[in-house]
Amino acid sequence: MSRIATVAAVTAAVLSLAACGSDPDDWGGIKVDFATADATPDWSPDGKQIAFASNRDGGGIFVVRTDGKEIRRVTSTNGKAPEWSPDGKEIAFEASDGLRVVAVTGKGEHRVARVRSTGEQSLAPAWSPDGKRIAFVREVSDGSYVIFVVPRRGGVARRLLEPALHPDDPDWSILTASELTPAWSSDGKRIAYNNNEGVVYFATVATGDRETVTTDGAGYDPTWSPDGSKLAYQCAGSLCIADLATGAFTTLLGDAGAPSWSPDGKEVAVERYLYGNANATASPMALYVVRADESGADVLTFGPGEFEPDE
């Protein structure tokens, strides 16, 4: 295992980005303050932009070029977990009233699945590879969270998988039964997710059959590389990569999560907790781009201008 992005490398990246504007706190033409939290990145299908959620300038869903320039707000609706459609035309995201979809141009925002009760939220949207459905997570009557799918234009949401455990099973609990952070395989035949105990599964959509994936400790936010050979996930608050053929594990960046692969599989975009606290409502967060070959990491967005990373 190796930890990349040394103080020198990160500082150089920050200085390089700061040189792009007249004010080191000015990113994409928007003045940001110390508490800025840029989170949950998702790479566009053409590899040219990254969508993310932020509290900057009142909050919303934004997109940024992969060189850190031209940050643009897509919607001012406060939301989380933006996800590009496979054709690159729309972005799905989680909002307080349910699952929403908006065109990349910012037009036509609409809700495709509503929350059904006070406190319930639609979580972690994931487009199917054919673009016809969106998987998301919602609470069910037994208190667990499970994966549902809804048509792209909205309609009846249905559960994707049969339950792996039933409430009368001695191994059942809300933690073990929950299905969180879904990610489709590139062929749409399987879906990866983790339960609330950090156990990662691959499930076959057609049959509901599941296999447990070996990870380096508890795993969260699993996502396949484009060729299906690797799995990026959060492990103990760090970005980890598992080679599915060899079983080898690599830790690429500490204090990082919510990984999203570049379309060519060479890089992973992540959110990074600048002071080691994964609380987007209280701590500054930035987006980083990490090279999967372990050669380094670069800051993509940057909130607090005085930040100096601790090693």
Q: Give me the architecture of the 7-299 domain, per CATH.
A: 6 Propeller (2.120)
- Is the four-CA dihedral 245, 211, 161, 101 of positive or negative sign? negative
299: amino acid identity, one letter: V
In the structure, what pLDDT confidence band is assigned to residue 35 with cuts at 50, 70 and 90? confident
Three-state secondary-structure class, residue 247: coil
278: amino acid identity, one letter: A
Q: Could you tell me the CA-to-CA distances from 159 to 138, 140, 200, 274, 284 in Å, in that order?
A: 9, 10, 19, 37, 35
- Order across the sheet with 200-204: list the strands: 180-184, 190-194, 200-204, 210-213
Residue 153 and residue 258: Cα distance in Å, rounded?
Answer: 26
Average pLDDT over residues 35-46: 94
Please write the tens of the pLDDT for every residue from 291-300. 999 999 998 9
Cβ contacts of 19 within 8 Å, gap of 6 or more: none
The upper half-sphere exposure of residue 114, i.e. CA atoms within 13 Å in the direction of its Cβ, equals 4
What element of type H or E holds 174?
Answer: helix 174-177
Residue of 260, 267, 271 lying closest to 237 (CA atoms) = 271
- Tell me how long the chain is: 311
Please state the domain extents for the chain: 7-299
**pLDDT at site 5:** 32
Cβ contacts of 255 within 8 Å, gap of 6 or more: 237, 238, 272, 273, 274, 276, 278
What is the pTM for the complete model shown?
A: 0.85
Please write the tens of the pLDDT for every residue from 221-273. 999 999 999 999 999 889 999 999 999 999 999 989 999 999 999 999 999 98
Please write the tens of the pLDDT for every residue from 179-194. 999 999 999 999 999 9
